[in-house]
Amino acid sequence: MKSVLIAIVLFVVFYLGGCMVVGGIAGGKAGANERNSEAAARAGGAAGEKAVRENMGAIAVGAAVASLVGAGLPTLLKQR
């Protein structure tokens, strides 16, 4: 039961972290071309949202794999 709870918490952390990284990179690239800070914020926000929406499946699968490995690794290492 403990490892299931750890896997769920790790999934949420990895998923949100992945969304932040993907959105931040896309938003930074889009906002870097603007001179006006308000226009840069709008362009970056829109680009970040679009990037996360388009890559949501890959982010979720990556987070699931990482959380399952992270939650199961101590159990696998104990069996030696």
- Among the listed residues 72, 65, 63, the one whose alpha carbon sits nearest the alpha carbon of residue 15: 63
- Output helix, strand, coil percentages for the chain, rounded to the nearest 5: 90, 0, 10
For residue 14, report the phi and psi dihedrals to the nearest 5 degrees. Answer: -65, -35
Q: Provide the pLDDT confidence category of residue 80 given band limits of 50, 70 and 90.
A: low
Domain residue spans of the chain: 2-72
34 sits in which H/E element: none
Q: Is the pLDDT of residue 24 over 90?
A: yes
Q: Provide the pLDDT confidence category of residue 21 given band limits of 50, 70 and 90.
A: very high
Q: Provide the pLDDT confidence category of residue 19 given band limits of 50, 70 and 90.
A: very high
Amino acid at 37: S
For residue 36, report the phi and psi dihedrals to the nearest 5 degrees. Answer: -80, 130
pLDDT in tens, 32-71: 888 898 999 999 999 999 999 999 999 999 999 999 998 8
